[in-house]
Amino acid sequence: MLARDTFLQGLKPTLHIAHRGGALVAPENTLEAFRLAVETYRTDMLELDVHLSRDGEVIVAHDDTLERCTDGAGPLAALTLAELLKLDAGYHFSPDAGRTFPFRGRGVRLPTLREVLRAFPSLRLNVELKPDVPGGEDVLARLLTDEAALGRVCLGSEQDAIAERLVRVLPDACHFYPRDALAAFVLALKAGEVPPEDARYTVLDMPLYFGEVRLVDDALLEAAASRGKWINVWTVDDPAEMDQLLREGVGGIMTDRPDLLRQRMDASGKPG
């Protein structure tokens, strides 16, 4: 069985997906956030981002610089793993607009992707490779292969060039649509046209809105499903939107508020 088929096997709408682990309830893209999402909010999937350190380790982080989420400064890629592990990744997290910083000085750090894979050995992950660095796809591919994780990871990039390189090195894996390919698919469906067929990509990780236009509706969900595509919507933190998406049966909801999504899913009687 292809890795992409293994990833999709048994999935049923609607998935609870913790975006960066739940960026509004704990320091994003850290083991602390991931554990909270899994153990407390029973998340079905973790969404996370990865970069490469100076010495070629795959680091879980969203930004290419360190200021927003750690007490460090400068480009992440300029530091080695040992140097990155010294940073406080809980330094700036505040649940109350800067009045308190409950995770400061508690040993929260940037994790490696290998650590996350081993910490949650049966959980599915949505992994975005961030930097456009030739060869980064090879490093990620070796790691996922070494960890026997290809069947539980859907990977990709917002950038089409990176996504295409990932498909080239891991053709049997599950890949989500990059920006331009996603726009071509969704806009064609919205215009009542036949979307371009692209077997490379299986999952549409897509925004709920484009400007004021709500992109997700029954017609889009049905058209995607008829073509064997799965839709995850980001980033949904409003309870009313969560309720509507649950009624519509979207494939997955990515949220920075896994606590709220769990409440809404439990109230709706949705499995998960």
Output the domain CATH number for residue 23. 3.20.20.190
Residue 270: pLDDT band with limits 50, 70, 90: low
112: three-class secondary structure by DSSP: strand
Inside any domain, residue 47: yes
Residue 105 has a pLDDT of 97
The overall average pLDDT reported for the chain is 96
Phi, psi of 145 (to 5 degrees): -70, -45
- Is the residue at 272 inside a domain? no
Q: Which residue has the higher pLDDT, 190 or 122?
A: 122
The pLDDT, as a whole number, for residue 231 is 98
Residue 271 pLDDT class (50, 70, 90 cuts): low
Q: Examine residue 61 and state whether it is found in any structural domain, yes or no.
A: yes
In angstroms, rounded to a whole number, what is the distance separating the alpha carbons of residues 65 and 198? 33
Q: Say which residues have a Cβ less than 8 Å from residue 122's Cβ, sequence separation at least 6.
A: 152
Token readout for 226 is 């008829």
Looking at the 3D structure of the chain, how many domains does it have?
Answer: 1
Structural domain contains residue 30: yes
Q: Is residue 94 part of a domain?
A: no
Would you say how long the chain is, in residues? 272
Task: Using DSSP bridges, classify how beta strands 203-207 and 230-234 pair: parallel, antiparallel or unpaired.
Answer: parallel
Mean pLDDT, residues 64-70? 98
Residue 87 falls inside a structural domain: no
Quick one: average pLDDT of 8-35?
Answer: 97
| Structure token pair of residue 176 | 């989500």
Task: Tell me the per-residue pLDDT of 136-185, one tens digit each, with 9 for 90 and over.
Answer: 999 999 999 999 999 999 999 999 999 999 999 999 999 999 999 999 99
Provide the pLDDT for residue 67.
98
Mean pLDDT of all residues in 225-244: 96
The model's pLDDT over 196-223, given as tens digits with 9 standing for 90+, comes to: 999 999 999 999 999 998 999 998 999 9
State residue 70's pLDDT score: 98
How far is residue 30's CA from residue 93's CA, in Å, rounded to a whole number?
A: 11
The DSSP bridge pattern shows strands 45-52 and 58-60 to be antiparallel
d(CA 205, CA 257): 17
pLDDT band at 1 (very low <50, low <70, confident <90, very high): confident
Q: 239 vs 79, 135, 163, 268, CA distance in Å? A: 40, 41, 32, 12
pLDDT band at 269, cuts 50/70/90?
confident
- Whether residue 80 lies inside any domain: the answer is no
Question: Is residue 72 included in any domain, yes or no?
Answer: no
Residue 233, H or E segment: strand 230-234
In terms of residue numbers, what domain contains 203? 3-65+116-267
- Please identify which residue in the block is written with the tokens 């999402």: 37
Considering the chain, what percentage of its residues have pLDDT values greater than 90?
A: 93
